[in-house]
């Protein structure tokens, strides 16, 4: 992937570090600068100027409020052909800063990776990145698209304002609700928590694992976040008022008004609908785990190659299948059927290794 680098990573926080390490694993030369973070000696530059000198790509991974200041520091040292890729979780403000500081003189692309360092570390899929197209920087956006795709990401295009509105209604509100659960100290992952709470628990866990400043940026830097929070709070207050109000005379428990009902998803009987929804959730979780396993197997294959060992290890594979048969029997499953599934899983991992051997 020589076309990617050298890459200068400006901001060696959790996300910048995670992408930098992914680039290094892919054989790309990386130089990093962050006056507030400790960087490995192998990538650390003495200054922002040293980091960007000779770089084909500059990955700007600083907190959203620091975007313009960082760009002004970098601007005197950027070559006319250097691509600047900004990765903030809000796009309106950073896009305006890129336009004001770099303009047409330096190619740039405003992007938002819809994943965090934990997703990268676990090899989760899909990894999606939003690209914000700009008319006079179409070539730069195309280069940014190539950059992210080379790292195994899918891309989609959105205008900055469209992006921020969508994130205000989803990403920002999810973190807002998660903060409420965290501040209340509610335990969503205890042994007695119903399965239906699992999605909320995963959201809270993901919010807790992300960088601290992300929560504030999602709300303070997004021009649509205040309105989204107000709508959510109004809806919750209305729901709370409806639940506190005494029932109407003669009203029975199964005859509540619309204010006390959740929208029905389909005409299927509730038990069947619940079973289908749970199966869909489990299938999505299986897909995520398969992608994660394939990515870890890819890393294991690279480690084997470094010490001169082949990809296939028949003894290890037979041991694995024997253990899976034993585990299946303990769970009341057909051992041979489960072994066949895991043979397919291993084939999937080998196929993934073959496609990503370069």
The CATH number covering residue 346 comes to 1.20.59.10
Q: Name the DSSP letter for residue 44.
A: B
103 versus 303: the higher-pLDDT residue is: 103
Structure tokens at 79: 């070559």
**In a shared domain, residues 173 and 115:** no
For residue 309, tell me if it sits in a domain.
yes
* Among the ranges given (9-23, 31-45, 294-308, 316-330), the one the predictor scored with the smallest mean pLDDT: 294-308
Q: Side-chain half-sphere of 11: how many Cα atoms within 13 Å?
A: 25
Cβ partners under 8 Å of residue 47, min gap 6: 33
Residues 216 and 188 in one domain: yes
Q: What is the DSSP letter of 172?
A: I
* C-alpha to C-alpha distance for 29 and 4, rounded to whole angstroms: 9
Task: Report the side by side order of strands in the sheet with 128-132.
Answer: 30-33, 7-10, 57-60, 83-86, 108-113, 128-132, 154-157
**pLDDT score of 250:** 61
10 Å CB burial of residue 105 (0-12, 13-18, 19+) is: exposed
Residues 144 and 13 in one domain: yes
- Asked if residue 201 is part of any domain, the answer here is yes
**Kind and range of the H or E run holding 31:** strand 30-33
pLDDT of residue 50: 97
Same domain? 180 vs 232: yes
Residue ending a domain, choose from 222, 244, 266: 244
Q: Which residue has the higher pLDDT, 184 or 301?
A: 184
Domain that holds residue 117: 2-158
Domain membership flag for residue 260:
no
Spatial neighbors of 123 by CB under 8 A, at least 6 apart, are 291, 292, 293, 294, 295, 296, 298, 299
- Is residue 187 one of the residues assigned to a domain? yes
pLDDT at residue 349 greater than cutoff 70: yes
Decide if 265 is inside a domain: no
Same domain membership, residue 207 and residue 79: no
- Answer yes or no: do 149 and 177 share one domain: no
Same domain, 338 and 226: no
Q: Is residue 167 part of a domain?
A: yes
340 and 286 within one domain: yes
Confidence of residue 150 (pLDDT cuts 50, 70, 90): very high
Residue 156: phi, psi to the nearest 5?
Answer: -145, 155
Please tell me whether residues 93 and 151 are part of one structural domain.
yes
Q: Check pLDDT > 90 for residue 205.
A: no
Where does a domain end: 107, 128, 158? 158
Contact 15, 116 (CB under 8 A): yes
pLDDT winner (highest mean) among 176-180, 202-206, 212-216, 289-293: 176-180
Average pLDDT, stretch 138-144? 95
CB 73 within 8 A of CB 93: no
How many domains would you assign to the chain? 3
Model confidence at 3, pLDDT cuts 50, 70, 90, reads low
Clarify whether residues 191 and 328 are in a common domain: no
Does 258 map to a domain?
Answer: no
Q: What is the predicted pLDDT for the residue at 191?
A: 85
Same domain, 235 and 346: no
The per-residue pLDDT of the chain, averaged, comes to 88
Q: Domain boundary at 158, 193, 209, which?
A: 158
Query: pTM score, two decimals?
Result: 0.73
Would you say residue 8 lies in a domain?
yes
């Amino acid at each position: 992937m020589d076309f990617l680098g050298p890459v200068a990573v400006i901001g060696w926080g959790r996300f910048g570090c995670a992408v930098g390490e992914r680039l290094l694993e892919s054989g790309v030369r990386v130089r990093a600068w962050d006056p507030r973070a400790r960087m490995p000696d192998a990538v650390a530059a003495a200054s922002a100027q040293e980091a960007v000198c000779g770089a084909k790509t500059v990955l700007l991974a600083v907190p959203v409020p620091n975007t313009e200041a960082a760009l002004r520091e970098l601007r005197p040292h950027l070559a006319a052909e250097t691509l600047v890729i900004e990765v903030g979780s809000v796009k309106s403000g950073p896009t305006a800063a890129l336009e004001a500081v770099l303009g047409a003189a330096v190619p740039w692309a405003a992007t938002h990776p819809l994943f965090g360092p934990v997703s990268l570390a676990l090899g989760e899929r899909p990894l999606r990145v939003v690209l914000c197209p700009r008319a006079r920087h179409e070539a730069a956006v195309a280069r940014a698209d190539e950059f992210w795709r080379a790292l195994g990401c899918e891309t989609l295009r959105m205008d900055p304002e469209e992006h921020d509105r969508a994130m205000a209604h989803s990403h920002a509100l999810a973190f807002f609700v998660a903060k409420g659960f965290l501040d209340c100290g509610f335990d969503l992952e205890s042994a007695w928590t119903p399965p239906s709470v699992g999605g909320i628990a995963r959201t809270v866990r993901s919010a807790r694992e992300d960088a601290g400043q992300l929560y504030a940026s999602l709300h303070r830097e997004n021009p649509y976040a205040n309105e989204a929070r107000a709508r959510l709070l109004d809806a919750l207050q209305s729901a709370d008022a409806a639940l506190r109000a005494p029932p109407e005379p003669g009203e029975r428990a199964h005859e509540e008004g619309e204010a006390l009902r959740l929208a029905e998803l389909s005409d299927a009987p509730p038990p069947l609908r619940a079973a289908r929804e749970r199966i869909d959730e489990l299938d999505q979780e299986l897909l995520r785990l398969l992608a994660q396993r394939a990515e870890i197997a890819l890393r294991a294959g690279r480690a084997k190659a470094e010490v001169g060992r082949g990809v296939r290890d028949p003894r290890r594979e037979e041991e694995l299948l024997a253990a899976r048969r034993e585990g299946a029997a303990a769970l009341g499953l057909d051992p041979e059927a489960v072994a066949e599934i895991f043979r397919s899983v291993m084939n999937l991992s080998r196929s993934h290794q073959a496609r990503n051997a370069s």
